[in-house]
Chains A and B, each alone.
Chain A
Amino acid sequence: MIDLSMAESFLSALVRVATPLLLAALGEMLAERGGVINLGVEGAMLVGALAAAIGASSAGPWAGLLLAVAAGAVLAAGFAAVAIGARTDQIITGTATTLAALGLTGAIYRRAFGTSGAGLSLPTLGPLEVPGLADVPLVGPALFAQPLPTYLALLAVPLLWWFLFRTRAGLALRAVGESPSSARAAGVPVRRVQVLATIAGGAFAGLAGGTLVLAQVGTFAERMTAGRGFIAIAIVVLGRWHPVGVLLAALLFGGATALQFLFQAAGLDVPYQLFLMLPYLLTLVLLAGIAGGVRAPAALGRTTE
């Protein structure tokens, strides 16, 4: 039987899983709207996670969160310098960026916290309850008793929508992603826009990594992002490069992941690995389903001369 408390914990788990994915995917969406596909988003999450751990262990969780944002932005700037500055293949450069982040975080982590394997315990960001609303049955705990990054992520959705579709800068960004040559003819500094969008995307990814450490796990482990950055890229496609779509796709993926908690609680005798793979398979099916009616920014992944 599924009762109210199970439904509540399912929804809370859904939002918890979705938060870092939403943050990373919104950032990647910004870059991709400018025609840049950054596979280094996984790496940016990872450096964000480590920076959060280092910042939090020396100056508290807020410092950790800020450091995470900065670290993600710096890694994305490195990617942008090569991929946009020198116009190299974006997919390959992004893969290399993630590889570098894997090596850097692994080595720095061992240097900073030792190899003992003893669990590093960090000060974390507790849930901020919205008075009154947090007690609403069913959705209260999931939506109104979350740590700060969840609210930031949800707030970013309308803000980014407004930015993309209601500001000149947003228009310029979309123009760059659709047709760099026309944008340039209209006086838009194409590569500067792309670099800025990519760095902003990296900051989002860094925040996503910091969220993982400071609002959820409370510790750092090597490779702890476990492919979430790559999933975020799929979520961008699934969300059709639109903030609201990205929100829905992230929630959907969060729901598919959170199902395993629900079924475990219900005591179903199904191999848990089935639930591990479910979100990925679901994403694939949905990608196939929407592929006909969706179009990526026309210049996505192209190196612009």
Chain B
Amino acid sequence: MRAGGWIGAGAALAAGLAVLVIFFVLTGHDPAMALAAMWRGAFGSWFALMSGTLIRAVPIALIALGFTVAYRAGALNIGGEGQFYAGAIAATWAGLRLGSWPGAMAIPVTLAAAFAAGAAWITLPAVLRRRFGVQEVISTLLLNFVAEAVVSYAVQGPLQESQHIYPQSDALPASLHLPLLFGTRLHAGALLAMAAAGVLAWVFSRTRLGFELLASGLGPRAAVVSGRIPVERLAVSALLISGAFAGLAGGTEVLGVSYALYPNLSPGYGFTGIAVALLARGAPLGILASAVLFGALEAGAAAMQRDAGVPAVAVYVAEAVIIVAVLLADRFAVRARREATA
């Protein structure tokens, strides 16, 4: 992100918080108290930062990174939520079978299963786009609902815990748990997300593939006409990678946080991930930063509900305002540039 991007993002954040304050005032909550509770819940202590904010930032960042890969290629993957669940199911299924393996082998295999499941879940939309021209916006969205039903079936059917009472899976054996960092609840998935961001930053800025993705997303017609870039094939591959990242997010959530499959594992990470990717304008390192920001917003919102009695869902309004502010800032930047060159 260039300096202009950081300023725009800062202004967007300010707008989001301003709307939140207005909302507090309108609903009769003390803004200072509510904001203080948010801050404490998000950054107030080492524990809050690691176990509240960063732990939420991990799946958000992975999904956002995936969204960005497809977005660069001109494809919109709105189905991160569904792919997340596909990954979570696969990780639970594999993890429960690999308890006898040493963790150093079982964990990579299980995460690979989650990665593959995410890609598998978006295969149908990718094929529908390539072969039938069905918009992936609609197909990925529809598959979110199918994924919800599959999870619901899994935790009441084949993956239900052995007592057959609760709609959840058995807990994974300890050998499958991701290592925790610094004695907090933050798991090694954070390192994975950082590594993924690093790799993508390199691919985007330094490789031919990164250039082709960008070219086919920005000017599909020109890219096709040039004859050197297989636009549609790239878009399909980008969608698959995008789904795989969201699947991986589901895998790390199961192996690092919940240790079991639950129906409501994701509080909407799939959609938050999209917001985060947009806020960072697709820059992988910017995505890490804005994932931490949104992780903080959501951790803070949970604390705000607990300590100040303000409904946590109010924070969605702030997230929406941040997205819109970024869009508007971009528009104004484009217009300003055009006027400057005219």
Contacts and interface: CB of A to CB of B under 8 A. Distances in A.
Interface of A: 39, 82, 86-89, 91-93, 95-97, 99-100, 102-104, 106-108, 110-111, 115, 222, 227, 230-231, 233-234, 237, 271, 273-274, 276-277, 280-281, 283-284, 287-288, 291-292
Contacts of A231: 142
A106 B323 contact: no
B199 interface: no
A227 B317 contact: no
Contacts of A233: 138, 141
Interface centre among B142, B156, B274, B327 (most CB of A within 10 A): B142
B170 to A, nearest CB: 20
B134 A291 contact: yes
Contact of A92 (B153, B310, B327): B327
A284 B152 CA distance: 21
B135 A237 contact: yes
B43 interface: no
B152 A234 contact: no
B56 to A, nearest CB: 16
Interface in B70-119: 76, 78
B74 to A, nearest CB: 12
A224 B132 CA distance: 32
A61 B321 CA distance: 32
Nearest to A234: B138
A222 B131 CA distance: 38
Nearest to B138: A234
Given A92-B278, A107-B314, A111-B27, A100 B320 contact: yes
Contacts of A88: 324, 327-328, 330-331
A222 B274 CA distance: 22
Given A230-B142, A287-B134, A103 B153 contact: no
Contacts of B323: 92-93, 95-96, 99
Q: How many of chain B's residues touch chain A, expressed as a range?
A: 35 or more
19 contacts: A86-B327, A86-B328, A88-B327, A93-B324, A95-B78, A95-B271, A96-B324, A96-B327, A99-B275, A107-B313, A107-B314, A111-B27, A227-B141, A271-B153, A271-B157, A274-B153, A284-B128, A284-B134, A284-B139
Given A103-B317, A288-B131, 13 more contacts: A82-B324, A86-B327, A86-B331, A96-B275, A99-B319, A271-B156, A271-B157, A273-B149, A277-B145, A280-B143, A281-B146, A284-B128, A287-B134
B316 A103 contact: yes
A103 B331 contact: no
Contact of B320 (A103, A115, A222, A288): A103
Contacts of B135: 237
A284 B124 contact: yes
A291 B133 contact: yes
Nearest to A281: B146
Nearest to A295: B133
Interface centre among A93, A104, A111, A273 (most CB of B within 10 A): A273
A277 B324 contact: no
Given A86-B328, A88-B328, A227 B314 contact: no
